[in-house]
Amino acid sequence: MAPPLLRLDQIRLTFGGTPLLEDAALSVSEGERIALVGRNGSGKSTLLKIAAGFVEPTAGEVFRHPGATIRYLAQSPDMEGFADVHAYVEAGLGPADDPYRVTYLLEHLGLTGNERPGQLSGGEARRAALARVLAPQPDILLLDEPTNHLDLTTIEWLEDELRQIRSSLVVISHDRRFLENVSRSTIWLDRGVTRRLEQGFGHFEEWRDKILEEEERDLHKLGRQIVREEHWLRYGVTARRKRNMRRLGELQAMRQEFRTHRRAQGTAVLAASDSKESGKLVIEAKGLSKAYDGRVLVKDFSTRIMRGDRVGLVGPNGAGKTTLLSMLTGMLPPDEGTLRLGVNLEMAVLDQKRESLNPDETLAHYLTDGRGENVVVNGEQRHVVSYMKDFLFQPEQARTPIRELSGGEKARLMLARVLARPANLLILDEPTNDLDMETLDLLQELVTGFAGTVILVSHDRDFLDRTVTSVIAPEGDGRWLEYAGGYADMMAQRREAALVKRETKASGSRGPSQAETASPEPKREEKRKLSYKQKFALETLPGKIEALAAEIAGLEAKLADSELYAKNPDLFAKIAAELEKKREARSAMEEEWLELEMLREEIEG
């Protein structure tokens, strides 16, 4: 196995009290793609800063290969001293790097390069920082939440870009789909200690749950053993006659281990406050249109949203998602068209703009609106500290100014306030930003189990697939279409439509034959047939997919051998690479078969 370009070993960091990092490790070799995961506040960003050299650990060993270049993407980039974005990005290049790459990256990230740093939004500054670290194609890329503030198109472009570059990656992200697509190894930072899984993020959650179950079982066994030893100490005949100092020492050590064991952090409790039921019809829009400065953002859009629907809005930044959402909720009048809102609507809105938070306000004041020490949830008064605990805040944080919270804590705080309001219509604008995986799971359960109606804007493909019943997406020129199902369903329907369009166009370009001109009926019948190649693929693909599945299962069984990596790391890496290729091949075959099957059903139906 290649020697590491970067190695952190036995890293310890404390700011007083419980150490943030106790025994953390990170090893990055050439070509590795690592997902760094853990709860909000577990120290992931701090560990990345130690790797980049911006934070010194209290103890431990840090090794960086002298010839290796490392670039670090911070969550809050410092752009002071640069005239424009182009100059900021260009400053990240080395002497031998390609300057044209700066223009290429800025273009794909939606920037011109002429923007002034002081006038950038948080999202624009983030994209500029991403261009700066990608431009030199360093040996190691340390990326802290690279997908924040990126739209779906740009996220998918970034995935392709990261697949192609030679750099090793260490990535922190809340975007499950992104991590699954770019990672090959996973490092879990939990209670100051790191554990490594030599598989991508797609296998992480099952592995993590197994470890936590084993830990709880071991802790339970330890507790039972302490009880038995204490019983011996008090009542054992041998113990009364002569104290066994060795057993006494072991008992004291077990008690100490049990007392000092740091249990896994609890999970947030997310529940929306109940409200009276809305009418069956929630929103009816007919022919909505809106334009700004001659640019049409929404054109002739119609929809009907019923009670219980969960609708997702997707699209590139600037496409008009916020404009359409504001019109659908009655906050913005359309230029044309009509809007009808249902009866008994009570709306709760989560705004993605953290800037709306007053940084000097305390958590308790924000949750109670300054009205004492209690918050009303589901018609019952609860002490604000008790309610804060549901969202993983500590009692001492009640008087903490909002400015001292991390991005994830601010996201949880805003959720806590929104969910305390009685509502039967939830409007969630980028609700997944900065939330850890566990809180995302609970938010997903909340959205899918909500008795009312939900409209959400999100760039998180996995979250959309797990929650929404339909997706509204832009088609260009201000046109928006609604697709049944989640994001993956929308993409499948778009591919099917594109396939039919291509076939229709190809058919039309050949022109009608003499026989077809004489008899129009057979012509229409001819168009509605699968080609021989399509029929053959439809018949043979299931067998090929099944054969690939068997090969994948065999490779997975080999990798499941816990001693394989220790015995032969090169073989392990070879099998892992082969497994990834076969999984990608199977996915491509499944997509091709699905498109053909849907086309067949349409023709026969």
Per the annotation, where are the binding residues for ATP?
A: 38-45, 315-322
Distance CA 444, CA 533 (A): 42
- Binding-site residues, please? 38-45, 315-322
What is d(CA 44, CA 355) in angstroms, rounded to the nearest whole number? Answer: 24
Handedness of CA 546, 551, 557, 562 (dihedral sign): negative
Q: Are 32 and 197 in contact (CB under 8 A)?
A: no
CA distance 552 to 474: 37
d(CA 376, CA 371): 11
E strand residue ranges, 191-280: 193-197
Torsion of CA 541, 546, 549, 550, to 10 degrees: -140
Tell me the residue type at 522.
Answer: P
Long-range contacts of 52-60 (CB under 8 A, 24+ apart): 52/142, 55/13, 57/8, 57/11, 57/12, 57/13, 57/21, 58/12, 58/13, 58/14, 58/19, 59/10, 59/11, 59/12, 60/8, 60/9, 60/10, 60/11, 60/12, 60/24
Place of tokens 């959309």: 464
Residue 70 and residue 64 in contact, taking contact as beta carbons nearer than 8 Å? yes
Q: Are 125 and 74 in contact (CB under 8 A)?
A: no
Strand extents, DSSP E, 237-294 = 281-292
Residues in a beta bridge with 59: 12
CA torsion, points 20, 23, 28, 34, in degrees to nearest 10? Answer: -60
Query: Tokens 């499944």 correspond to what residue?
Result: 590
Query: Taking CA 239 as the corner, what is the angle to CA 238 and CA 242, rounded to the nearest 5 degrees?
Result: 80
